[in-house]
Amino acid sequence: MNVSIVILTYNSEKTIGATVEKALAASDDVHVVDSYSTDRTMELLRSWPVHVVQHPFEDYARQRNWAMRELPIRHPWELHLDADEMLSPELVREILAPDPVEGVDGYFIPRLVCFLGRVLRHGGISPTWHMRLFRRGKGKCEDRLYDQHFFVRGPTGRFHSPIIDNIGLDLSEWTIRHNRWSDAEVLELQRSTEGERISGQWFGNPVERKRALRTGYDRLPIFVRPFLLFGYRYFIRAGILDGIEGFIFYVLQTFWFRFLIDAKQWEARRCINGLPAESFGCARSADQRRSRAQPADRRSVR
């Protein structure tokens, strides 16, 4: 399969080297779209034979769709990665295999999470399936501020080997960025459903099933659902088997992050319902949330 690879970066000096190295093992046409990094990301990229452009960041969907429209993609297939996602050696071999079945327009690829140096294999989050590889012109990123996925309007298949989501952040950086993503999630929940989006389908593809589960989660009582989600992932889906690293991950990502989103939703509703602005800083909260959600760092593990 002849594939071009597109990588998004922003202050990604800790992970971009490994990501680019693995990408070059699978493709001779690697493109990086950087959102004006202020660390050594651009310096490191200059040492690799990759095509690098910088483009202002608005939101993830616009950045990804801009890349698909504007980059000089050479090959008939394109694969999209984040700056901390590495192709496993087995996935490289799958990509380099002869052309896939005729008539398939896109492939779902499993993704494993590596957190604090440990690959998590339980909890229902690892692996998750993502549409990342598709024929040029056949894929698009849905219009969401957070938890956005690519979709293909056509026949799809699956690859069996994983992308490794190698989270290269220390816990301070991780929590700072998840605070930003919680702002994006609250804004997303307040938006209309305009634009192209993936709808939940219980018997659809992996992303559609995940979206259906998310719709069910959103209907649960606020503040109660983070407790239920943690119990489901950690005990019912055996996240407890992922050791201390898994315990930290499930507490922070499954409980704390989701509880923070609920708290910010509650705060926003009180502001909308006309409570005194000085009580919760309502006068500026919406603008602050919008500005905090803007930095072009990597998306959350979902």
The pLDDT tens digits of the residues spanning 185-222 come to 998 888 755 566 788 888 889 999 988 999 999 999 99
What is the Cα 301 distance to its own chain's centre? 6
The pLDDT tens digits of the residues spanning 41-75 come to 999 999 999 999 999 999 999 999 999 999 999 99
The model's confidence at residue 102, banded by pLDDT at 50, 70 and 90, is: confident
Distance CA 248, CA 92 (A): 31
Across the range 249-256, mean pLDDT stands at 98
DSSP 174: H
**Residues 261, 147 share a domain:** no
- What is the CB-side half-sphere exposure of residue 64 using CA atoms within 13 A? 26
Cβ proximity of 155 and 105 under 8 Å = yes
Across the range 282-293, mean pLDDT stands at 56
Element (H, E) at 18: helix 16-26
**Residues 137, 262 share a domain:** no
Please report the pLDDT score of residue 298 as a whole number.
Answer: 45
Supply φ then ψ for residue 110, to 5 degrees. Answer: -70, 150
Q: Which of 34, 291, 82, 83 is nearest to 184 (CA)?
A: 291
Across the range 64-87, mean pLDDT stands at 98
**Residues 128, 71 share a domain:** yes
**Residues 159, 15 share a domain:** yes
Q: At what angle do helices 89-96 and 16-26 cross, to 10 degrees?
A: 30
Residue with tokens 């690519």: 150
Distance CA 40, CA 46 (A): 10
Long-range CB contacts (within 8 A, 24+) of 283-286:
none
Supply φ then ψ for residue 280, to 5 degrees. Answer: -130, 15
Instruction: Indicate which CATH number applies to the domain containing 8.
Output: 3.90.550.10
Residue with tokens 């050479």: 74
In a domain, 298, yes or no: no
Please report the pLDDT score of residue 296 as a whole number.
Answer: 44
Tell which wins on pLDDT, 286 or 204.
Answer: 204
Residue 277 has pLDDT above 50, yes or no: no
Domain residues for 114? 3-166
The pLDDT tens digits of the residues spanning 116-145 come to 999 999 999 889 999 999 999 999 999 988
Supply φ then ψ for residue 101, to 5 degrees. Answer: -60, 135
Q: Which of 96, 62, 58, 57 is nearest to 79 (CA)?
A: 96
In a domain, 300, yes or no: no
What is the Cα 219 distance to its own chain's centre? 23
In a domain, 297, yes or no: no
pTM: 0.88
What amino acid is encoded at 290 in this protein? R
DSSP 8: E
Distance CA 105, CA 95 (A): 14
| The domain boundary residue, chosen from 166, 181, 201 | 166
Please report the pLDDT score of residue 272 as a whole number.
Answer: 74
